[in-house]
Chain A
Amino acid sequence: MGLLDHIWLGIVTVFTVDPVFSIAGLPISMTIIMVFLGLIFGIFVGATPGIGGPVAMAISLPILISIFGFKADALLPVLGFLVGIMKGSTVGGAVPAILFNTPGTPDSLMTTLDGYPLTKKGQPGKALRVAHFSSVSGDTISDIVLITGAPFLAIIVERFLDFPEKAALIILSLAFVSAVVGSNVWKGLLAALLGLFMAYIGTGEDGHPRLSMGSDNLANGFPLISAVLGVLILGEVFKSLEDMWREMRETSTITKVEVKGDNKLHLSDIRKILPFIGISASIGTMIGALPGIGSTLAATLGYATGRKIHKGSPAFGEGAIEGIAATEAANSAVAGANLIPVLSLGIPGNISAVFILLATESIGGFVPGPQVFRLVPDQINQEMVYAFGLFTAMIFANGLNWTFGGVFMRWMGVMIKIPKQRLLPIVLLLTLTAIYVQQTNMFAVYVTLGFGFLGYFMRKLNFSVLAFVIAYILANNLEESMRQAFAVTGADPWFLFASPTSIIFVVISILVVIFFARNQKDLN
């Protein structure tokens, strides 16, 4: 079976399998419905202060698995919903930034710079339309790169990498993530090493679970989902709660917006912002494809580049639609490209990718990695069908985002009124419940809380939680590939240096750490 057969099967699977109802004779499949619901939910949470896309994905994942089960046919509806959230939340994130000068996420910090001045001028509608147009454009461009790039990268990896090189590649990714994320290479490395070490507790191959101190609860290590959600979500919840506790006396006033003047997005506007979108989308895509550097840096770089090339008035910072476009296109372009390392190598580079990987780990039938894009003569590679199904779902989500996204987005202005200190405790209970339902024991709940406090302290002391989480997820892959490389080479202790490819990977890992250790000031 050729590539085209798989693409076609992927599309067919998304649109026709498991139809729920039909509109005018057209069957509407479960996956399509889930993408749609995910997108709306994503826009909704993006516009809600306190919970962004990652929190929404974290809470939804266990609930979705409870609904759809663990079998492979659950894959596309669940991934569709997560992809919907991912895309919706980037669009929704601009809403509070533009309307209330409060960025919902760090990504949209730069959006406030020109978005809010426009709102004050009475043109919130125009600002939102520009943000929507740029965001969806950036996202679409990034997806195109993903869809065309990931399979080729995977094929190269599959053909040239054996067990030793795969181990070296994981080391390189970890070195890169810990060096690049956060402000201090050594803190990043320590966070990653700590993640690796904790993942080794209770795991391993011996009959006695190593380092478990005799506890049966640790016989299979800390549950992955507890560690990941604890550090990523609960840590953030605890820290935000404390911030609010400290600031409780300061009352925030909500500005009344008076709508006047030109609020439409004209063709001439689009012509003006298109170059900015193109440049920012390229920046965002490139940054997204590298593991570890997130959308915040992309937004900052996109905005800075835009400001350099912008001429005329209004200037950036005074309500230039080009400023909004440069920011939103850049931060939205990260999402799609971020999935390149996950789908082609099985290595997650950022939080959204972590949840996509968690979903595939929980549901059988699809293991992200180079084998996904393997063509087998006369046979259907079901994993490749799912990959193209996922791509189809992404394109469909973009289509929805183009057509309905803007409308939903403009309705979301009311979300700012939800008090965050009421919302976050609910998020906490929901997260703990979701974990309990999946793991079915209280130990997992306690572990989640424990990791939550760990995540809280890491945030407070400026240790990278992302480096920790990615290291935690890759730890056992790393050990396994080391063991296998060692065994397969007939116990060669220098297996990491047995081929030029793995030597190159190891050398680059070391160089990355040295480079960023010396130049960390420049990056920040």
Chain B
Amino acid sequence: MFALTNTTTRLAVAGLAAAAFMTTFTAQAEWKPKGPISVVIGFAAGGGTDTQARLISAELKKRKGWNMIPSNLSGRGGVVMARKLKSMPNDGLSIGMAVTEVFGYNMLASKKSGYKTSDFTYIATTTSSQMGIVANTSKGWKTFKDVIAAAKKGKVFKFAGMSAKHADINFLIEQKYGVKFNTVVLRGGRKVMNAIIAGDVDLGYGAGIQAKAVMSGKMVNLASGLGERLRISPNAPTLVEMGIPYDIGAKFIFVAPAGIPADARKALADAIGEVINDPSTKASKFVSKRYGGPDVVTGKKLDAYIANEIKAAKVLMKLMK
């Protein structure tokens, strides 16, 4: 993803607003589920994905009367869920929730992921991660440039990421600046936060979970992993600005097996977008608090976004070889 997020997002929001407008004012025969809708969540209960999926499900049940049945199928950063969802019936009554990386980098990085892009219908994104490189304020670093300067003097820092992708990015940084990190991959943002606080590592990646600590001044976002600067830390440069041309942000996404009816796809996307964009819903409040607000992409724009994600992942991987 070559720093396209910003524009894509804006276009998508505009598109969604239009879509929402149309659904409100046109009285067309709406898609109705014939039975209960299974919502398979690709991450463990209690995390950011799970919370969103459950809040949205509950709201859809209330608004639409759809019988939403959430369940968790975690493992391998959402890949286990994707593999399962692929073979579920494509009648619109089986949907899954994960992050876009599952259908981009994670899919390509594994020798046997067991699924491909065309195995799914992409329904809607909800919000995007606020990916930053984080450290304790007490380290004295203001931005990532300070880290590089210190590392150039021969200091080897312990650097925690959440996925192999972060290790790749660290490798690129090492190459570019001639420095060395001891990179460690931890499972999930909570563990990275704990390792940073406890001093087990010097710095690490956070996808939004660091927001509270950064606001209170306890931690600092040293760099933005997005194509744009982070909303809460406008002084931190993006990795792109530092010569690492990758947007490592991800979006949370609802997907379905390939080939679900077009009206089902539209109805589901509209309904999800409506809930997450309504500031009064719990789901919307949650994403605003943690991820800086809703970011809904649907339909053809979403297909394009996924295609772009794959293209970027391929470029990154080629470079790593």
Give me the interface of A with B, judged by CB distance under 8 Å: 69-72, 158, 162-163, 205-209, 216, 219-221, 362-365, 367, 369-371, 374, 376-379, 440, 480, 483-484, 487-490
> B187 contacts which chain A residues (CB < 8 A)?
480
Residue of B nearest to A378 (CB): B216
Chain B residues numbered 177-218 whose CB sits less than 8 Å from any CB in chain A? 182-187, 190, 194, 197-198, 200-201, 213, 216, 218
| Contact (Cβ within 8 A) A374 B74 | no
- With both chains docked as a complex, state the minimum distance between the C-beta of A402 and any C-beta of chain B, in angstroms: 35
Measured in the bound complex, the distance between the Cα atoms of B110 and A374 in whole Å is: 38
B156: Cβ under 8 A from any A Cβ: yes
Query: Whole-angstrom distance from the CB of A296 to the nearest CB of chain B?
Result: 34
**B193 — nearest CB in chain A belongs to which residue?**
A371
State whether the Cβ of B46 lies closer than 8 Å to any Cβ in chain A.
yes
Interface membership of B79, Cβ < 8 A: yes
Q: Which residues of B contact A484 (CB under 8 A)?
A: 184, 186, 200
User: Given the complex, which residues of B lie within 8 Å of A209, measured CB to CB?
Assistant: 75-76
Q: Once bound together, how far apart are the Cα atoms of A488 and B156, in whole Å?
A: 10
Tell me if B274 is interfacial: C-beta within 8 Å of chain A.
no
Whether A488 contacts B201 in the complex (CB less than 8 A), given A72-B46, A480-B187, comes out as yes
Q: What chain B residues lie within 8 Å of A71 (beta carbons)?
A: 46, 51
Contact B194 A371 (CB under 8 A): yes
Closest-by-CB residue of A relative to B51 is A71
Find residues 130-171 in chain B having any chain A CB closer than 8 Å to their own CB.
156, 158
- Is residue B266 contacting chain A, with contact meaning CB distance below 8 A? no
Give the residues in chain A near B317, CB-CB below 8 Å: none
What's the nearest-Cβ distance from chain A to residue B158, in Å?
Answer: 5
Residue pair B158, A488 in contact (C-beta under 8 Å): yes
Chain B residue nearest to A381 (CB atoms) is B197
Q: Which residues of A contact B304 (CB under 8 A)?
A: none
Interface check B318, CB cutoff 8 A: no
Question: Please, which residues of chain A bring their CB within 8 A of the CB of B114?
Answer: 216
* Shortest Cβ distance from residue B160 to the other chain A in the assembled complex, whole angstroms: 8
Partner of A487, one of B46, B75, B110, B182: B182
A207 to B113 Cα, complex, angstroms: 6
Partner of B50, one of A70, A158, A379, A489: A70
Counting from the closest, the 9 A-B pairs by CB-CB distance are A364-B46, A207-B110, A220-B75, A70-B45, A487-B184, A440-B71, A219-B80, A70-B46, A490-B182
Establish whether residues A379 and B216, one from each chain, have CB atoms under 8 Å apart when the complex forms: yes
A487 contacts B79, C-beta separation under 8 Å = no
Choose one: A219, A363, A371, A379; the contact of B45 (CB below 8 Å).
Answer: A363
**A487 contacts across to B, CB distance below 8 A:** 182-185
CB distance from B313 to the nearest CB of A (A): 14
Partner of B182, one of A208, A362, A371, A489: A489
Residues of B within 8 A of A70 (CB): 45-46, 50, 54
Instruction: Judge whether B259 is part of the interface by a CB distance below 8 angstroms.
Output: no
> Which residues of chain B are within 8 angstroms of A480 by Cβ–Cβ distance?
186-187
Note all chain B residues with C-beta closer than 8 A to A362: 45-46
Does B109 make an interface contact (CB < 8 A)? yes
Per the bound structure, the CA–CA distance linking A487 and B186 in Å amounts to 10
Please indicate the chain A residues that have their CB under 8 angstroms from the CB of B201 in the complex: 488
Given A71-B46, A378-B216: A216 and B84 within 8 A (CB)? Answer: yes
- How far, in angstroms, from A449 to B84 measured CA to CA in the complex? 23
Q: Quick check: is B111 within 8 A (CB to CB) of the other chain?
A: yes
Across the interface, do A219 and B183 meet the contact criterion of CB distance under 8 Å? no
Set of chain B residues within 8 Å of A207, measured between Cβ atoms? 76, 79, 109-113
Whether a CB of chain A sits under 8 angstroms from the CB of B243 is no
A135–chain B nearest beta-carbon distance, Å: 35
Known: A378-B218, A488-B200. 12 other contacts (CB 8 A): A205-B185, A208-B111, A219-B83, A220-B80, A221-B75, A364-B46, A367-B194, A376-B218, A377-B218, A379-B218, A480-B187, A488-B158
Bound Cα distance A142, B110 (Å): 50
B79 to chain A, nearest CB (A): 7
Question: What would be 5 A-B contacts, judged by CB atoms less than 8 Å apart?
Answer: A158-B198, A220-B73, A364-B51, A374-B197, A376-B218
Residue B234 CB within 8 A of the other chain: no
A214 to chain B, nearest CB (A): 9
- Least CB separation from A202: chain B residue: B75
Q: Looking across the interface, which residue of chain B has its beta carbon closest to that of A485?
A: B184
Which residues of the partner chain A approach B84 to less than 8 Å between Cβ atoms? 216, 219
Contacts of A367 in B (CB 8 A): 190, 194
- In the complex, B47 has a CB within 8 A of chain A: yes
Which residue of chain B has the shortest Cβ distance to A489 in the bound complex? B182
Closest to B194 in A: A371
Q: Which partner residue on chain B sits nearest A162 by CB separation? A: B200
List of B residues within 8 angstroms of A483 by Cβ: 184-185
Q: How far is A206 from B112 in the complex, measured between Cα atoms in Å?
A: 9
In the complex, A377→B218 CA distance in Å?
Answer: 9
Query: Residue on A with the closest CB to B106?
Result: A207
Complex CA distance for A125 and B213, rounded to whole angstroms: 57
A501 to B54: give the CA distance in the assembly, Å: 44
Q: Which residue from A158, A208, A371, A374 sits with its C-beta under 8 Å from B112?
A: A208
**Contacting residues, chain B, for A221 (C-beta < 8 A):** 75
Q: Which residues of A contact B50 (CB under 8 A)?
A: 70, 364
With A and B bound together, what is the CA distance between A370 and B200 in angstroms?
12
Write out the residue numbers on chain B whose beta carbons fall within 8 Å of the beta carbon of A378.
216, 218
> When the two chains form their complex, are residues A488 and B79 in contact, meaning their CB atoms are under 8 A apart?
no
B194 to chain A, nearest CB (A): 5
Please measure, in the bound complex, the distance between the C-alpha atom of A158 and the C-alpha atom of B198, giving whole angstroms.
Answer: 7
Instruction: Give the distance in Å from the alpha carbon of A484 to the alpha carbon of B109 in the complex.
Output: 21
Contact, CB under 8 Å: A376 / B197: yes
Nearest neighbor of A219 in chain B, beta-carbon distance: B80
Output the nearest chain A residue to B184 by Cβ-Cβ distance. Answer: A487
Q: Which residue of the partner chain A has the closest CB to B164?
A: A205
- Given A219-B83, A490-B156, A364:B200 Cβ within 8 A: no
Chain A residues with Cβ below 8 Å from B213 are 379
How many angstroms from the CA of A162 to the CA of B184 in the assembled complex? Answer: 13
Determine if B190 and A220 form an interchain contact, defined as CB atoms under 8 angstroms apart. Answer: no
Q: Give min CB distance, B83 to chain A, whole Å.
A: 6
| Identity of the chain A residue whose Cβ is nearest the Cβ of B190 in the assembled complex | A367
What is the CB-to-nearest-CB distance from A456 to chain B, in angstroms, rounded to a whole number? 29
Q: Which residues of B contact A379 (CB under 8 A)?
A: 213, 216, 218
In the complex, how many angstroms separate the beta carbon of A426 from the nearest chain B beta carbon?
Answer: 26
Q: List residues of chain B with CB within 8 A of the CB of A158.
A: 198
